[in-house]
Structure 1
Amino acid sequence: MGGAFAWHSASHTDQVLVMTRAVRQGEIVRNTDVGLTSVSVDRAVTTIPASRLDEIVGRHALVDLSAGQLLGSHSVGEVRVGPGRARVGLKLAAGRLPAVSLPAGAQVTVVETSSDKAAETVSELSTFDAVVVAAPKGTSDHGGWLVDIEVDADSAAQLADLASLDRIALVERGR
């Protein structure tokens, strides 16, 4: 009896979702990022059936996903803001963030810019450590960038105020 069960378990395959390319945490999963594969896995291993492809595409990677990785139930979903953290949306003019791509998960420092170059010194300006939540997108007028960042909740109000005054820039930090 045990041999028959083992044979049935080994011969039963399911079509499930597999990553065809790497997607970083926070990025949107696109149709071209996901493929189908047939696997035989223990029922204790959570996979996502191929029939749910439409539910996965367009959602955020909740963890870094590698090419060839089977998708599990906690791999993709809606990005949540953690306790003590806040998400702030920024509109930045060209030149206020690096020209190279800032992917989701990039470590950045938000730097307060001076309103009057003569009145303030650099040491008097505020800085905030942040993480990019979603890669910047160009504005419809092509004159700036929209980017969501996550910061300590205690800094969010001051940062939002500075953003409304167009007094911030993003600097990418090394990892």
Structure 2
Amino acid sequence: MAPLQISNHLARLVLVTFILTFIVVRVLVILIMSRRIPDLYLHLGGTHVHHLNYGIFLLAGVGAYQLFWHPSGRNLEIAAIIYGSGMALTFDEFGMWLHLGGPYWQRASLDAITVISAVFGLIAFAPSLKRFHFQHWAGAFVITVAVGIFFFMLLESFKYVDKIVIPVLQEIETTSPP
């Protein structure tokens, strides 16, 4: 088996698609919420299907495609583009993962998009480890610290979720018939 090689071209496709999809989605949400364009949201039985669900399905599809069909060439580029879009759709609503039922405009979503963009940017444009110099290691260290802080904040937010979700689940459990 060949050693792991990251295609900078594919990583750049993912990065560009990720950022463009995020921008388009945010602009569409602003236009819909300000009633400048019609409501394009999918509603099933009165339930609004959030776009993170579309992202999850895209990511699942790309994962299965990669795993079972091992695409190459143009098909691999298309998979990279779909992957970037799926990541953006999913992580644009990252804050809603943490604070179930919370508002769309959460700081955690923007933070997640920023961190993931930085990681994709590093993968797309960083030199190989053989060509790493001091400034590359310093940049990697700073990003590692930033990601560590992000995950610390993520873990801290779980305390908030516990305060909201656990009482609701306990209420459901105590009021449901045996």
**Do both proteins adopt the same fold according to a TM-score greater than 0.5, normalized to the shorter chain?**
no
**1 or 2, which has the higher helix percentage?**
2
Report the structure number with the largest CA radius of gyration.
1
For this structure pair, what is the TM-score category when the shorter chain's length is used for normalisation?
under 0.3
**1 or 2, which has the higher strand percentage?**
1
